[in-house]
Chains A and B, each alone.
Chain A
Amino acid sequence: GDSVTQMEGPVTLSEEAFLTINCTYTATGYPSLFWYVQYPGEGLQLLLKATKADDKGSNKGFEATYRKETTSFHLEKGSVQVSDSAVYFCALSDPFSGSARQLTFGSGTQLTVLP
């Protein structure tokens, strides 16, 4: 079945540091890929997405590129801020799976940015 593996946390960075959170996936077909962010006490918010190979999703300074050859969708940001502290989830949606486009999530990576 489909699965998502993402970088174990927690990750602690200083403000303005470079961020990478690794994400790799296994899927039957050609999934769409997502990064969601969860701030403390809140639900998940869609951060960015990519629906086909070589697409780059971007939002709020975050970027991720859909790499079919390495089955990866790593999240990057050039300069993190304290306000970026949150839990980040990589997810996929596989139209060829048995669950009609539902999301399969990685385990989440806790990011803490120190001033």
Chain B
Amino acid sequence: NAGVTQTPKFQVLKTGQSMTLQCAQDMNHEYMSWYRQDPGMGLRLIHYSVGAGITDQGEVPNGYNVSRSTTEDFPLRLLSAAPSQTSVYFCASSSRDSNYGYTFGSGTRLTVV
């Protein structure tokens, strides 16, 4: 059971480039989320989904897009990368009935130069 898988683990982008961070889970979880982790700020919610075809914005959505075409996958797209998007990104998933126990991926460390 792989849990939550994120790819890539590391990425360097130039300002203005676009890319997609991949997230897949094999636990049939309804809920999926993207967070960014910055020093001294904990984790902040970017976007989330409560099921296939349903997404919503979190605390810091600007500059990011998501879609949820399947239960398993929840990719995060950076439209035009900026240095302010340098961060560690975590994907997480949860069953609707799990009493809020989210499973996290191992993260993607993104640097925008």
Residue numbers of A with Cβ under 8 A of B are 4, 32, 34, 36, 41-46, 49, 51, 89, 93, 99-108
Are A102 and B41 neighbours in the complex by a CB distance under 8 Å? no
Contact check: which of A46, A99, A106 meets B102 at CB < 8 Å?
A46
Q: Mark B89-108, 1 if CB is under 8 A from A, else 0.
A: 01010100001111111110
The answer to whether B42 and A43 touch across the interface, beta carbons within 8 angstroms, is no
Task: Tell yes or no: B58 within 8 A of A by CB.
Answer: yes
Q: Is B56 in the interface zone, CB < 8 Å from A?
A: yes
Known contacts A49-B101, A107-B40, A102 near B33 by CB under 8 Å = yes
Q: Are B106 and A99 in contact (CB under 8 A)?
A: no
A102 — which chain B residues lie within 8 A by C-beta? 33, 45, 48, 58
Kindly list chain B residues whose C-beta atoms are within 8 Å of the C-beta of A32: 99-100
Query: What's the least CB distance linking B77 to chain A, in Å?
Result: 19
B100/A107 in contact, CB under 8 A: no
Question: How many B residues face the partner with a CB closer than 8 A?
Answer: 26
Contact with A108, one of B35, B42, B94 (Cβ below 8 angstroms): B42
Task: State how many angstroms separate the Cβ of A15 from the closest Cβ of chain B.
Answer: 27
A36→B44 CA distance, assembly (Å): 14
Bound together, the chains give a CA A107 to CA B43 distance in angstroms of: 7
Q: Is the CB of B45 within 8 A of A43?
A: no
Q: In the complex, A94 Cα to B92 Cα: how many Å?
A: 17
CB pair A51 B101 closer than 8 Å:
no
A49 touches B90 (CB 8 A): no
Q: Separation in Å of the B76 CB from the closest CB of chain A?
A: 15
For A43, give the chain B residue with the smallest CB separation: B104
Which residues of chain A have C-beta atoms less than 8 A from B100's C-beta?
32, 34, 49, 51, 93, 101, 103
List 8 other contacts, CB 8 Å, given A102-B48, A103-B33.
A32-B99, A32-B100, A43-B104, A49-B99, A49-B101, A89-B42, A102-B58, A104-B45
